[in-house]
Chains A and B, each alone.
Chain A
Amino acid sequence: MSPQGSTGELVSDWSLLERVVRKDEAALSALYDRYSGLVFSEAKRILRDAGAAEEILQDLFYQVWRTAERFDAARGSLAGWLLVAARNRAISRLRRKTGKTEELDENGVILRVDLESVAAQNVLLDKVRGVMGSLPEGQRQALELAYFEGMSHTEIAEKTGQPLGTVKTRIRAAMETLKQVLR
């Protein structure tokens, strides 16, 4: 359930994050309730392992608790950061890569859509799935291999037997369609 203020309005991510900076556990709890499902589902989709996805989920929200003051509303969205950070950590784990995660890099994520309530998430979920379902098979496959499997365009070209240029074009075209529909 989305956290609401005393007058029934939705409390924004940044208001909650400001409270997390002041070490307000209820605010972190509200953010967790808001985004844990999305973060967990994404990590599990990549890793196909609920235990590993739960570890990533816990670590990410622990990082939010420890470093909330570093998030900069001007540089992007918390929901975006959570989704990109979850994806990067899951892919690193999937490909057994080590090394420091780029915190600042991940912080720069701008979401032009609302994900702050379950209702908004549901609407967007249908929309994005609709777009992905409508893409030509080759475009959808190339984009999913990159995002969920962490494969580079070269690896996708090798796996699918398609020329490198075709793979690049397909990924760009799929992203462009997503952008046009969500605009």
Chain B
Amino acid sequence: MKILVCITHVPDTTSKISFTDNNTKFNSNGVQYIIGPYDDYALARAVELKEQSGGSVTLLNVGGSETEPTLRKGLAIGADEAIRVNAEPTDAFFVAKQIAAVVKEGSYDLVLMGRESIDYNGGQVHGMVGELLNMPSVSPVMQLDLEGDTAKVAREIEGGKEYLELKLPLIAGCQEPIAEWKIPNMRGIMTARQKPLKVQEAVSDETMTSTLRYELPPPKSGVTLFQPDQIKELVDALKNEAKIL
């Protein structure tokens, strides 16, 4: 069983978000980076599957050399090797193209990633990779078990769950509770440096989008409290101030 886990290198969830260059670029100054939380679940499940039925886990990230600490953390958590495609992850299609090339080259049985990254939250990459490789792609996957070359998958749908059975190879966009996220142990951290981290160049520079500008949401405004006997005032405010009635 060869598992590929695609991880994103994203700002810590507590980061203050700001932009530079006329609101066209994310300001990464002073920002701490982490493995995308959804990718963390995917990686945790991959490590569990490897522990259960053997095989190998390869990590993949599309990004500059600054993402290597994030890859090494993944290696510390239990992946066997890592690949970094040395390119800016400009948009979902560009990233999907890189992943597809790696999957094809490495003949992976299972490709896991988060349901979406937590920086741009596109949630498109798994679907695109599936299309590019003509492989089934499922998301958001909350449960994933293997029986031979069959995957049994539970997927979250509006108001309930959908249970699927699919043949490998398969691409899955994961979310909790597919596995409990793992903290790397100290020995894992010490051995991460000895595990292979291969850097390769991008296979194509094709992108489909370009960013015009970013905008922050308006700051939260104050709250007006109304007592139960102030229904009239509440309706007035909704009509005249909030203008939503």
Q: Do A and B bind each other?
A: no
